[in-house]
């Protein structure tokens, strides 16, 4: 399905969600085309975000609203202009996930 639809991202992949003023770390939780020609097929979990009841926070995005993890790092996304505590927690979680993904690949 990924190659058939020309998808840039896959489930579990770290990426950046484009916001008006910054990039925010996220991870693809699901890809869904059940609505036919859906232009927002990626369900993204926003890292370090949770609802008042503690559940993860998600949003649907199209590829144009997302940026590959490596591309965001090259653009200096790890040096945020905002000192938001939420963003700092999200970046810490993203680094931890990135490190665990690298160690899992090296174990195989």
Query: Which domain CATH number covers 55?
Result: 2.30.30.140
Domain residue limits at 49: 2-107
Closest CA to 44 of 14, 88, 21: 14
Predicted confidence at residue 102, as pLDDT, reads: 63
Mean pLDDT on 89-107: 79
Q: How much is the pLDDT for 15?
A: 94
Residue 79 is predicted with a pLDDT of 62
DSSP reduced 3-state for 69 = helix
Of 33 and 57, the structure prediction assigns the larger pLDDT to 57
Banded pLDDT at 104 (limits 50, 70, 90): low
Structure confidence at residue 73 (pLDDT): 74
Query: What backbone phi and psi angles, to 5 degrees, belong to 16?
Result: -115, 135
Q: Looking at the 3D structure of the chain, how many domains does it have?
A: 1
Residue 108 has, within 13 A of its CA and on its CB side, a CA count of 5
Q: What is the pLDDT of residues 40-90, one digit of tens each?
A: 889 999 998 888 888 899 999 999 999 999 888 776 666 656 567 888 888
């Amino acid at each position: 399905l990924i190659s058939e639809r020309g998808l840039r991202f896959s489930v579990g992949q770290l990426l950046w969600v484009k916001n008006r003023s910054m990039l925010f770390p996220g991870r693809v939780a699901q890809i869904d085309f059940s609505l036919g020609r859906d232009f927002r097929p990626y369900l993204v979990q926003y890292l370090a975000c949770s609802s008042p009841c503690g559940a993860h926070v998600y949003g649907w995005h199209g590829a144009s609203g997302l940026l590959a993890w490596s591309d965001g790092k090259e653009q200096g996304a790890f040096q945020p202009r905002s000192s938001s505590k939420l963003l700092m927690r999200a970046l810490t979680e993203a680094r931890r996930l990135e490190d665990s993904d690298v160690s899992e690949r090296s174990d195989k």
